[in-house]
Amino acid sequence: MKVNVELETRRDTLIVRLSGELDHHAADGVRLQLDEEIARGRCRHLVLSLESLQFMDSSGLGVILGRYKLIKQKGGQMAVCHVNTPVYRLFEMSGLFKIMPIYATEEEALTELEVAL
């Protein structure tokens, strides 16, 4: 199974919805796609929605951590939402929740980033 990436911009926040599997086969493509969107300069913050992400390995964690660093360099914030149990465990073991917040829904994440519609 491959990964699907859906992008939406609300004000200055890029919402990224991932579905499928974010593994070493898909990591480079997702990384490039997100980097291009961030480089366009229309977004300052990033919300990563993982509700339909069925699998992620360490390559996926690398993609997420790298985008976190890019967003922080731009003075923005990154949040994660809709994290299912297997992916949550991976985030927990890696310590990513110590550096970025997790929310139940996109709307909660957007509200916390102060860009809710």
Sorted by where each begins, the domain ranges of the chain are: 3-112
Q: How far is it, in rounded angstroms, from Cα 117 to Cα 108?
A: 11
Q: How far is it, in rounded angstroms, from Cα 82 to Cα 32?
A: 23
**What tens digit of pLDDT does each residue of 62-108 get?**
999 999 999 999 999 999 999 998 899 999 999 998 999 999 999 99
**What tens digit of pLDDT does each residue of 8-42 get?**
999 899 999 999 999 999 999 999 999 999 998 78
71 Cβ neighbours under 8 A, 6+ residues apart: 38, 44, 45, 46, 77, 78
Q: Could you give the residue ranges of the DSSP H alpha helices within 1-117?
A: 27-39, 58-73, 85-94, 106-112
Indicate the pTM of the whole model.
Answer: 0.92
Q: Tell me yes or no: is domain 3-112 CATH 3.30.750.24.
A: yes
